[in-house]
Amino acid sequence: MKTKKKLLVTILIAALTMLASTVSVLAATKNPLAKMPRQVGSVASEINCVSVTNKTAFYTEAYNSKVSISVKNSNPKVADVQYYSTKLDVNGKLKNCGYFGVRYKKTGTTTITVTVKVNGKTYKRSCKYTFYKYTNPFKLFKKGNKNITAEFKSAPSASVYSDVKGKYSYRLKNGYKVTRILYWDQRFQGHEVKNISQVPSNPRRLYLTIENTKKNYLFTWVLS
């Protein structure tokens, strides 16, 4: 009986060891580009810098092993691409990954093809980036009683109007929605809120991430 129990324990330990090894191998060989988008849109504006939020920047999965990355840009007249190997803090431990960021030059479309090598394997994925001409998404934007809608006619940025009392409020045109509201306080601390009424009257900066729901793209709008 004892011999059978020992045999069962030995088999169980062996099975668990094999399972652990399999999980380890699977984790090590996961596709570093699995979460890379296939299609991204944004606004052709200097304010819309390279951003993970707007999907114009991307970090690969992180590994203990070395990660190399290379990029091909089908239309350099539309956008520049910066890329390099770097490190990410994953649960307090630095791991290796690849990064690339796409910065617009003018309206138009380009396809970015990314190649990543890790653990002796090569992975490749492409994404089409389209940069659209900016149009004002607001029917109305106010601080207190001051209507500042016209300030955003040609670009998604304006002053915070620190000399004007009252809180911010807005109404969007059809086809737009705000997906994120973030402001910096006077100590440069960031705060994400759900409603613009929660933003104090004297932020150092105010960021709105706005989605064009008709063309399915995001862009950043800033008061600074």
Q: What is the pLDDT along the chain (224 residues), one digit of tens a residue?
A: 544 444 433 433 344 344 343 333 334 458 999 999 999 999 988 776 677 778 899 999 999 999 999 999 999 999 999 999 999 999 999 999 999 999 999 999 999 999 999 999 999 999 999 999 999 999 999 999 999 999 888 888 888 787 888 999 999 999 999 999 999 999 999 999 999 999 998 899 999 999 999 998 988 888 88
* Closest alpha carbon to 170 in 137, 122, 192, 129: 137
* Torsion 117-104-55-86 (CA) sign: positive
Rounded to 5°, the CA angle 36-39-40 comes to 95
- Give the span between the Cα atoms of 118 and 123, in whole angstroms: 8
Structure tokens at 198: 């929660």
What is residue 45's predicted lDDT score, i.e. its pLDDT? Answer: 82
What is the per-residue pLDDT for 49?
A: 65
- Residue 125: CB partners within 8 Å, gap ≥ 6? 33, 36, 38, 113, 114
pTM of the shown model: 0.78
